[in-house]
């Protein structure tokens, strides 16, 4: 269990990619704090981790609105009340409010930027100092290939994920001297509740663009996150790892 005695915080861990990441880290022995916006939102994640058995790490659930500074500070206090620091910080919380640019209102733009980008900033801000003191910590931000390529109907989402890429590189440079790495994982077309809402025609069209001829799974993304948290990735920082089956190459 390579992450025994390690502490992880995973935002947006109630389902999909966030749940898979939390389960993957716990499987390797980490104590994982899972967040969602509502009480009980991570019950399914806690159950999945409990099913791993006695050898897995412990899991805790905390309700946290990453767009609210007071809520993020409460998360920080709750985690640090039990532990001196956090070893792995995974910013996964995110939303979409898709729409063509000419029809997109400022509220839809702001809501996505506040959750996907400002939320990651607030969470990193809350934990950066203790992580820097502890040294050897890992920050992994979950972006999207859309933040690299752009996408019609997702100007707000693409902007938030592109901003997250810039934030990640800046964190990597500022905290490298403390032994803290910061990297971004950019998933492509992943089978989640979010993509399940797409029409069958859209899903088929997207899958035809993937050289590996299948959509990704949350576990595909979680495996890359687990690698970035491991000792094997200690010399990797400021990078974007694309997990898309070759879709954007």
Active site positions, annotated: 157
Contacts of 163 (CB under 8 A, 6+ apart): 113, 116, 117, 147
Neighbours of 7 (CB within 10 A): 24
Decide: residue 210, CB within 10 A, 0-12 exposed, 13-18 middle, 19+ buried: middle
DSSP 185-229: EEE-SB-SHHHHTS-HHHHHHHHTT-TTSS-B-HHHHHHHHHHHH
b/e per residue, 162-179, with b = 16+ CB within 10 A?
bbbbebbbebbeebeeee
Strands (E), the chain: 7-10, 31-36, 59-63, 88-91, 138-142, 181-187, 240-243
Return the closest-CA partner of residue 13 out of 68, 90, 74: 90
């Amino acid at each position: 269990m390579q992450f025994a005695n390690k502490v992880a915080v995973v935002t947006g861990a109630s389902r999909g990619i966030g749940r898979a990441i939390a389960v993957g880290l716990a499987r390797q022995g980490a104590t994982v704090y899972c967040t969602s916006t509502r009480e009980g939102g991570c019950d399914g994640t806690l159950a999945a981790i409990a099913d791993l058995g006695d050898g897995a790490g412990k899991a805790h659930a905390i309700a946290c609105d990453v767009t609210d500074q007071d809520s993020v500070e409460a998360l920080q206090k709750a985690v640090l009340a039990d532990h001196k620091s956090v070893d792995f910080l995974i910013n996964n919380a995110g939303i979409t409010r898709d729409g063509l640019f000419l029809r997109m209102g400022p509220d839809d733009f702001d809501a996505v930027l506040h959750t996907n980008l400002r939320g990651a900033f607030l969470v990193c801000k809350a934990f950066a100092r203790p992580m820097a003191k502890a040294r050897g910590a890992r920050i992994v931000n979950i972006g999207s290939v859309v933040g690299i390529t752009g996408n019609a109907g997702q100007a707000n989402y693409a902007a938030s994920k592109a901003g997250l890429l810039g934030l990640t590189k800046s964190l990597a440079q500022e905290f490298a001297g403390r032994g803290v790495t910061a990297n971004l994982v950019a998933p492509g077309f992943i089978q989640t509740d979010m993509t399940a809402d797409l029409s069958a025609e859209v899903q088929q069209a997207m899958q035809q663009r993937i050289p590996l001829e299948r959509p990704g799974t949350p576990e595909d993304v979680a495996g890359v996150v687990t690698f970035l948290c491991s000792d094997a990735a200690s010399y990797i920082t400021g990078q974007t790892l694309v997990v898309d089956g070759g879709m954007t190459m």
